[in-house]
């Protein structure tokens, strides 16, 4: 396996696409420590080029090259004007349009035939390399660059609205609830609500809800939800919301923590909500530069589950590109034909052309969720 450092260059040209993550990875892997980065961008991707320079902390070691994406001659001449006087040149053409890739490649090859040409393959998480016609085996790079969640957000111009939650609340209770799955959902619907898909009861009603006997849960000698809220220093409506469904997010966070070291996950967090946009990831894991976004729902209706998964899928692709993976953690039982997790996954993979990019975990997976999550991560390149 070739050492990627031998393909690093002093002058690296990047084609800036609408997703900055591949550009960030390429710069980290292929630019020498004292090298100069050239960012070939359109009017649309100009602010993305600025963010890349800022996040990479390049300062004066970066030059932006504006091009007209619809004019091949313009792309060729602009890139050629910058490359003609440089030595030790590389081009990573993962980002940008096909027109940009073709004409930037021509411009650099024509002026520097000894240049290093590279492409980051999203499917295999490998760097494809070409140098003077030399056949170079693709280099695995999945774990070579490890941005954190904050860095990924910054590349898109976002900052966290709240502090990142990295410690699950009451993990022992979460594990006990996971073992009973839909039984707990039924109890919530009959006690914390007046029925399925109805709002939570009013505060005064919630205070009088009798706590059930659940194996593995110690309610600290409290008999009513109101008593427990006082004992745990929680507002009763917030505690009811947690018991009604928020626990599943905390359980998923805990499950990821159990496998983080073994699966080489460098960071996990929950409630990732940017200040600048109206969306939220329930739980996120970063493995190398690959984003895993997990949406959590205690609903069991197929339509609700598909909507949750679709929202997470769209946002994850926007943030993490084609490399992103999306999971749905839910309480749906496998014997329900309307919301069978395997059937939902199969339908979504076919409808969205997302084979291998989504995974649905249902009630049968919850008791041993860390093991099932590990299996999922182990399937990745």
> Average pLDDT for residues 328-354, to the nearest whole number?
88
C-alpha pair distances (Å), 62 with each of 145, 152, 153, 241, 277:
20, 20, 21, 49, 29
Question: Is the model's pLDDT at 135 over the cut of 90?
Answer: no
Question: Is the model's pLDDT at 261 over the cut of 70?
Answer: yes
C-alpha pair distances (Å), 50 with each of 30, 39, 43, 45, 270:
19, 9, 12, 9, 28
DSSP string, 62-118: EEEEE--TT-HHHHHHHHHHHHTT-SSEEEE-SSS-HHHHHHHHHHHHHH-TT-EEE
Note the pLDDT of residue 97: 94
- Asked whether the beta carbons of 249 and 86 are under 8 A apart, the reply is no
Domains of the chain: 4-144 (3.40.50.10770), 146-381 (3.40.1350.10)
> Average pLDDT for residues 143-166, to the nearest whole number?
96
Question: Is the model's pLDDT at 338 over the cut of 80?
Answer: no
Band (1; pLDDT cuts 50, 70, 90): low
Band (335; pLDDT cuts 50, 70, 90): confident
Place of tokens 């109890």: 187
DSSP string, 131-155: ETTEE-PPEE-TTT----HHHHHHH
Note the pLDDT of residue 3: 84
Note the pLDDT of residue 336: 80
Q: How far apart are the C-alpha atoms of 329 and 331, rounded to whole Å?
A: 7
Question: Is the model's pLDDT at 160 over the cut of 90?
Answer: yes
Question: Is the model's pLDDT at 168 over the cut of 90?
Answer: yes
150: closest CA among 286, 251, 37, 326?
286
Note the pLDDT of residue 30: 98
Q: What is the pLDDT of residues 65-124, one digit of tens each?
A: 999 999 999 999 999 999 988 899 999 999 999 999 999 999 999 999 999 999 999 999
Q: Could you tell me the strand order of the sheet in which 358-361 lies?
A: 267-272, 281-287, 290-297, 325-330, 358-361
Q: Could you tell me the pTM of the whole model? A: 0.94
**Beta-carbon neighbour count of residue 239 at 10 Å?**
20
Question: Is the model's pLDDT at 368 over the cut of 70?
Answer: yes
Note the pLDDT of residue 381: 81
Note the pLDDT of residue 265: 98
Close Cβ partners of 198 (under 8 Å, ≥ 6 residues apart): 189
Q: What is the pLDDT of residues 283-327, one digit of tens each?
A: 999 999 999 999 999 988 888 899 999 999 999 999 999 999 999
Question: Is the model's pLDDT at 8 over the cut of 60?
Answer: yes
> Average pLDDT for residues 29-58, to the nearest whole number?
97
């Amino acid at each position: 396996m070739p050492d990627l450092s031998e393909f690093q260059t002093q002058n690296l040209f990047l084609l800036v696409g609408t997703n900055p993550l591949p550009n960030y990875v390429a710069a980290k892997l292929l630019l020498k420590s004292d090298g100069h980065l050239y960012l070939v961008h359109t009017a649309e991707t100009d602010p993305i080029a600025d963010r890349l320079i800022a996040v990479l902390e390049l300062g004066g070691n970066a030059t932006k090259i504006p091009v007209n994406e619809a004019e091949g001659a313009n792309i060729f001449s602009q890139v050629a004007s910058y490359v003609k006087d440089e030595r030790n040149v590389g081009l990573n053409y993962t980002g940008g349009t096909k027109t940009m890739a073709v004409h930037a490649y021509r411009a650099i090859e024509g002026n520097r035939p000894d240049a290093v040409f590279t492409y980051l393959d999203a499917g295999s998480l490998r760097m494809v390399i070409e140098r003077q016609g030399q056949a170079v085996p693709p280099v695995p790079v999945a774990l070579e660059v490890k941005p954190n969640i904050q860095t990924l957000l910054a590349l898109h111009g976002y900052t966290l609205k709240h502090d990142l939650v990295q410690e699950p609340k009451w993990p022992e209770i979460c594990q006990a609830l996971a073992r009973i799955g839909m039984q707990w959902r039924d109890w919530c619907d009959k006690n914390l609500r007046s029925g399925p898909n109805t709002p939570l009861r009013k505060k005064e009603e919630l205070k009088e809800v009798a706590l059930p006997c659940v194996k593995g849960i110690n309610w600290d000698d409290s008999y009513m939800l109101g008593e427990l809220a006082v004992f745990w220093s929680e507002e009763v409506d917030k505690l009811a919301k947690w018991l009604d469904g928020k626990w599943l997010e905390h359980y998923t966070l805990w499950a990821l923590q159990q496998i983080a070291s073994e699966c080489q996950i460098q960071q996990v967090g929950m409630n990732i909500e940017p200040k600048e946009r109206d969306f939220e990831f329930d739980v996120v894991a970063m493995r190398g530069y690959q984003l895993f976004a997990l949406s959590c729902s205690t609903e069991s209706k197929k339509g609700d589950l598909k909507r949750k998964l679709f929202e997470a899928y769209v946002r994850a692709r926007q943030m993490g590109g084609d490399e992103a993976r999306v999971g749905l953690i839910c309480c749906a039982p496998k014997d329900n034909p309307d919301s069978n997790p395997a059937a939902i996954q199969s339908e979504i993979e076919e409808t969205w052309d997302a084979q291998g990019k989504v995974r649905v975990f249902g009630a049968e997976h919850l008791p041993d969720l860390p093991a099932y999550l590990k299996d999922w991560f182990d399937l990745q390149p």
